Structure 1
Amino acid sequence: MNFDNIEYLQHGNDRQRQAYSILTNNRVLSKLKQFDPILVGTIPINIDIENSDLDIICCFADKQEFQKSVKDNFSNERSFTIREQPSLDTLAIVANFFLDGFEIEIFGQRIPTRQQFAYRHLIVEHNLLNKHGEKFRQQIIELKRQGRKTEPAFALALGLTGDPYTELLKFETNDKSPNC
């Protein structure tokens, strides 16, 4: 599965097709093109629940340039906010807003998008869902409906102990792309 291009959403479930339309009609990814945007999270892998947002990760070299671009392109959207957020060992810029009934979160770091935790978790979770099948997918969705975040839901379903974000990365294969 190639998550680098959202074309796959056109052939997905209703929410995936809605997400495709919103992102395409509003040119969200094209406005972020210089920052190597990738849609991650639960919607691409069909484990979203009713209030799941559209998570877009980006890579920036210049924090101020990224913030300015995000503000210039999205600050007029409903409930727009942007903030700096320490994220493990590096700073992240996080913007949130609403477009056509979906919450959008744009998350930028100085880390290439395919090396960011959100992308790495997406790939691992996609592979685990393919390996364990529909019953497992439904179990993850139910755990999310009970209020668990995605990675803790996977960890619980798999019987993992320790930090779920770290434990899931132990399922990675070595197919990472370089640079953003």
Structure 2
Amino acid sequence: MAINFDKIEYLQYGNNRQRQAYSTLTNNKVMLKLEHFDPILVGTIPINIDIENSDLDIICCFTNKQEFQKSLITNFSDERNFTIGEQQSIDTLAIVANFVVDNFEIEIFGQSIPTKQQFAYRHLIVEHNLLNKHGEKFRQEIIKLKRQGHKTEPAFGLALGLTGDPYTELLKFEATDKSPNR
């Protein structure tokens, strides 16, 4: 099933946790406050492989680091457990803010890379396609691996029998849209 992940409206028709996420993000105007930075909700909740402690991951794109930081501080510094910092990722600097709203921990991750080109979005699309291809038993296997302490991409790597770095290996499915038979 094709989902437009660009906007969060699809969440209001999802499972209970997805509907709660939609309410939290909408009632607190989180996406609206980030709209200048092309926000997209990524991670496990959009594709229904979240576990009890999964957070809401929102990626953003900024052209001016200071403007993005200032916006995060202005809009979210009053939220519970607010932190903000810089993080050097593989190819670029990221600004990361964390806080808690309602019953959700929220992480906002901003880079100077367009959101649809960021690894988190690309992984979301690949993982969504793999879940659709392999079905419910596969989804439950991913959740089981996550509950055992595996991060999402390594869980997919284990479930698919991938060798090498799962973050890189999963991106190979973008071009081919073929996953190994299990």
Q: Say whether the fold is shared (TM-score over 0.5).
A: yes
- 1:38 aligns with 40
For residues 39-90 of structure 1, the C-alpha deviation after alignment (integer angstroms, 9 at most, x for no partner) is 0000000000000000000000000000000000000000000000001010
Which of 51, 55, 67 in structure 1 is aligned with 2:69?
67
Q: CA deviation at 1:173?
A: 3.9
TM-score relative to the length of structure 1:
0.96
Q: Which residue of structure 2 lines up, in the alignment, with residue 115 of structure 1?
A: 117
Tell me the residue number matched to 1:5. 7
Q: State the match for 1:157 in structure 2.
A: 159
Instruction: Specify the code of the residue in structure 1 equivalent to 2:129.
Output: N
Q: What whole-Å deviation, never above 9, does each CA across 1:110-132 have from its counterpart, x for those lacking one?
A: 00000000000000000000000
Distance in 1 of aligned mates of 2:81 and 2:13: 30
1:14 aligns with 2:16: yes
* Cα offsets for 1:11-37 (capped at 9, x unmatched): 100000000000000000000000000
1:148 counterpart residue number:
150
Equivalenced residues, count: 174
Stretches of structure 2 that go unaligned for 5 or more consecutive residues are: 177-182
User: Quick one: distance in 1 between partners of 2:140 and 2:163?
Assistant: 21
Q: CA deviation at 1:101?
A: 1.1
User: Runs of 5+ in structure 1 lacking a partner?
Assistant: 175-180
Q: What secondary structure does 2:173 align onto?
A: coil
Q: 1:94 aligns with which of 84, 96, 113?
A: 96
| Residue in structure 2 matched with residue 57 of structure 1 by the alignment | 59
Instruction: Tell me which amino acid in the other structure corresponds to 1:21.
Output: S
Query: Runs (4+) of structure 1 moved beyond 3 Å?
Result: none
**Partner in structure 2 of residue 29 of structure 1:** 31
| Counterpart residue number, 2:180 | none
Structure 2 counterpart SS, 1:32: helix
For 1:142 and 1:77, the matched residues in 2 are separated by 32
State the AA in 1 paired with 2:31: L
Aligned mates of 1:101, 1:77 — CA distance in 2: 12
Residue 179 of structure 2 is matched in structure 1 by none
Identity %: 82
Task: Kindly report the root-mean-square deviation, in angstroms, between the aligned alpha carbons of the 2 structures.
Answer: 0.8
Q: Distance in 1 between matches of 2:36 and 2:135?
A: 36
What whole-Å deviation, never above 9, does each CA across 1:146-176 have from its counterpart, x for those lacking one? 00000000000000000000000000049xx
Rounded Cα–Cα distance in structure 2 between residues aligned with 1:65 and 1:45? 31
Taking the aligned partners of 2:97 and 2:28, their CA distance within structure 1 comes to: 16
Please report the TM-score for the alignment, with normalisation by the length of structure 2: 0.95
Partner residue of 1:177? none
Alpha-carbon distance in structure 2 between the residues aligned to 1:49 and 1:36: 26
